[in-house]
């Protein structure tokens, strides 16, 4: 509830915004070839690093920075939120947190909203096991997850009788997250070769995002920390740059 109130407060204080207007490409010299033309003295790219590969910057970034952008990649990661009539797992004395090495769900968490009467177990499907699960139709995927929950809580009938619906969220189909979640990885050697430029601006473009955070990489806390860092960088630069 607190998180919801904060997000609503942010929306209310956002002033003019350009929605459904992706900034492609980012031109730091010459005349922009795209419309609308949104001139700025300093630019700020905030998002997962794999997403930045879909926002070409001209001229191209230095070789070390470009190596990072080109090398980041996600594994398979998606989630299915199973909604139930009642929190049967709590009635059985469990907290709802599960970690499985056999799957199909690798991690299961209680993401319920008691204030709204919404009882939800969120199943995270990861790696090869999750990818194999994703190749089935929606009905089969739900059946497999209900079967897993029934085994975990030793009550298959109760799980099925309490089941209401499944809400899907497939990050591999989400364009603006870079087609993945929660945190991309790098091949061996790339971080050693180019990790020191991860947070360096390129000309007037500053980079933030969960991967650029010193702490809490891949989490909302890390994204916020990196945004604060870049806001400070840009503010200092604007003081020195005549508009």
User: Residue ranges for the binding site for FAD?
Assistant: 211
How far apart CA 241 and CA 93 sit, in angstroms, is 61
Dihedral sign, Cα of residue 229, residue 231, residue 233, residue 239: negative
Binding site for substrate: residue ranges?
124
Token pair belonging to 65: 């920075």
Cα 27 off chain centre by: 26
Residue 60 per-residue DSSP state: P
Q: What is the phi/psi pair of residue 76, to 5°? A: -80, 135
Binding site: residue ranges?
124, 211
**105: nearest Cα among 76, 130, 87, 77:** 130
Residue by residue, DSSP assigns 124-164 as EEEHHHHHHHHTS-HHHHHHHHHHHHHHHTT-HHHHHHHEE
Q: How far is CA 137 from CA 92, 143, 167, 180, in A?
A: 31, 10, 14, 20
């Amino acid at each position: 509830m607190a998180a919801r109130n904060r997000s609503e407060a942010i929306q209310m204080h956002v002033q003019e915004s350009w929605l459904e207007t992706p900034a492609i490409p980012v031109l730091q010299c010459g005349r922009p070839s795209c419309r609308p033309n949104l001139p700025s003295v300093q630019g700020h790219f905030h998002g997962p690093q794999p997403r930045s590969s879909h926002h070409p910057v001209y001229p191209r970034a230095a070789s070390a920075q470009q190596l990072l952008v080109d090398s980041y990649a996600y594994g398979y990661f998606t989630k299915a939120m199973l909604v139930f009539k009642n929190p049967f797992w709590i009635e059985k004395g469990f907290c709802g947190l599960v970690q499985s090495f056999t799957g199909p769900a690798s991690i299961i968490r209680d993401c319920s909203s008691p204030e709204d009467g919404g009882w939800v177990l969120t199943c995270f499907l990861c790696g090869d096991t999750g990818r194999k699960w994703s190749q089935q139709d929606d009905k089969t995927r739900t059946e497999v997850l209900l079967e897993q929950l029934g085994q975990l809580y030793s009550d298959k009938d109760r799980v099925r009788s309490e089941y209401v619906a499944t809400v899907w969220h497939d990050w591999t189909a989400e364009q603006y997250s870079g087609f993945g979640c929660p945190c991309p990885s790098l091949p061996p050697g790339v971080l050693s070769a180019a990790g020191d430029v991860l947070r360096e601006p390129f000309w007037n473009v500053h980079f933030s995002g969960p991967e650029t955070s010193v702490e809490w990489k891949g989490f909302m806390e890390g994204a916020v920390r990196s945004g604060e860092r870049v806001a400070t960088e840009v503010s200092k630069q604007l003081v020195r740059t005549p508009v």
